[in-house]
């Protein structure tokens, strides 16, 4: 069962795609939410998903900045509010918290602002730096990482280069206007 069906619908409607790498990270994110006994995916779970995946640019940038993945995992896990353990089940739906929804929206915004048609793990990490998640803020602050410094590193690596299939800001505005009109008239 997909972790974020409404956002996948949005991406499909906007002709945006999730990278395979980001899809794998989202699978790990879902598993981390189950493992930490959280009834919903929280923003910190995205960071745990990035760390667990390991083979992605954000993970490499974090480790190059001196991050200890085990320490980040420990800090994030201790801050996440879990309850009664949840039995792992492929079919169980785990919703995103409002904060996690906002973070994913920021990742989509990062992709479109860089004129890219694919939302990647780099966009997710950039979104995490802008999120209001205190856990992520503390991790990035301790490492001396900011949105601008990460964007610079991703740009140097060619991960934020515009592509020819990207959608314009006008197309995004039109999409939301159409959706809003349909919602009002229905």
Phi, psi of 148 (to 5 degrees): -65, -40
> What's the pLDDT band for 80 if we cut at 50, 70, 90?
confident
Total structural domains within the chain: 1
pLDDT of residue 6 exceeding 90, the answer is: no
Residue 144 tokens read as 């001396």
What band does 70 get if pLDDT is binned at 50, 70 and 90?
Answer: very high
Quick: pLDDT tens for 100-112: 999 998 999 999 8
State how far the alpha carbon of 45 is from the alpha carbons of 37, 42, 67, 113, in Å: 11, 5, 17, 24
Give the separation between CA 134 and CA 76, rounded to whole angstroms.
10
The residue segments making up the domain with residue 42 are 5-185
CATH number for the domain that contains residue 150: 1.10.1780.10
- Looking at the DSSP bridge assignments, the partners of residue 41 are 96
CB atoms under 10 Å from CB of 36, counted, come to 21
- Which residues is 18 bridged to in the sheet? 119
Instruction: Give pLDDT tens digits for 19-63.
Output: 999 999 999 999 899 888 888 899 999 999 999 999 999 999 999
The CB density around residue 44, as the number of other CB atoms within 10 Å, is 30
Q: How confident is the model at residue 76 (pLDDT cuts 50, 70, 90)?
A: very high
CA atoms within 13 A on the CB side of 34: 16
Q: How far is it, in rounded angstroms, from Cα 136 to Cα 134? A: 6
Within 13 Å and on the Cβ side, how many CA atoms surround 134?
A: 3
């Amino acid at each position: 069962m997909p972790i974020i069906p409404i956002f996948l619908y949005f991406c499909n409607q906007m002709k945006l795609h999730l990278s395979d790498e980001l899809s794998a990270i989202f699978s790990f994110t879902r598993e981390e939410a189950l493992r930490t006994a959280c009834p919903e995916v929280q923003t910190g779970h995205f960071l745990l998903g990035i760390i667990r995946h390991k083979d992605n640019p954000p993970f490499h940038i974090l480790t190059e900045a001196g991050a200890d993945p085990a320490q980040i995992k420990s800090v994030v896990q201790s801050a996440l509010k879990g309850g009664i353990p949840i039995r792992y089940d492929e079919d169980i739906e785990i919703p995103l918290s409002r904060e996690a929804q906002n973070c994913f929206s920021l990742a989509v915004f990062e992709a479109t602002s860089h004129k890219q048609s694919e939302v990647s793990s780099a966009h997710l990490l950039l979104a995490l730096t802008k999120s209001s998640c205190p856990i992520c803020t503390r991790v990035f602050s301790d490492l001396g990482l900011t949105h601008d410094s990460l964007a610079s590193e991703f740009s140097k690596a060619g991960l934020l280069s515009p592509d020819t299939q990207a959608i314009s800001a006008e197309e995004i505005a039109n999409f939301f206007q159409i959706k809003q009109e349909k919602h009002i008239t229905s």
